[in-house]
Structure 1
Amino acid sequence: MEFAQVRLLVTDFRGCYRFYRQVLGLDPQFEAPDGPYAKFSFDGGSAGLALQERAQLAEVLGELGTAPDGYRSLVVLRVDDLDGCCAEIIGRGAVLVHGPAAMTDRMRVAHLKDPDGNIVELQQWLELRETV
């Protein structure tokens, strides 16, 4: 397992994108000022900070809604074998709330919660995105 990102779930994507891009001066991996997703890496590494429209993830998980007092972030871990990893962690007591399933044509994901209710996303990349 490899740490991939902390993802902030936002309702004002354009405002947040502008804040992290222009105010804090972070460079996005690809231009996406209108969303619904953007990732900012640090020092050219693969791990970073990402933004995602809350409504988009709510379509996948259903329970998030669009209220700003709901989930605000999630931890993303990258795995090489999503099905194998899920079988292993279920065997150790994890309960998946979604997946494994395709998120895009390049990525499969599964979601679970830690004991405090924080969302963890496991992701397996099928094809990498070209960076800017």
Structure 2
Amino acid sequence: MKLSHVRLLVPNIHECFLFYRDQIGLEVRYGDETTPFAEFATGDVSFALEPSMADDQATLRSASQPFSANDQVALIFRVDDVDAVYAALVSRGVQFVQPPRDTPEWGHRVAYLRDPGGNVIELNQGI
């Protein structure tokens, strides 16, 4: 068995599409800001956005909290240099909930942010 796709169900697909394309800088494989489905090129595992079935916007996680007991998924992006990617994303207006830091217990350097749907994103580099 091999994981081939991650499809993130989001309440605001238009906003999330623009975030992943324009601010994170992912290459669009399918769709655009007007379609109800979009897929991005991310290496071996496909990453896609699709509208969620939830209609209660109040359930979105806070964009300012690093972690919440309500979090159910975290997207981990392996990068060569967390600090360089952090600086590039900050220059594009991305707000982080936790700046780069070493986690020697896991052997990584990490930084955390949230997408417009409230999902946790970790930038991850081995140390």
Scaled by the length of structure 1, the TM-score of the pair is 0.44
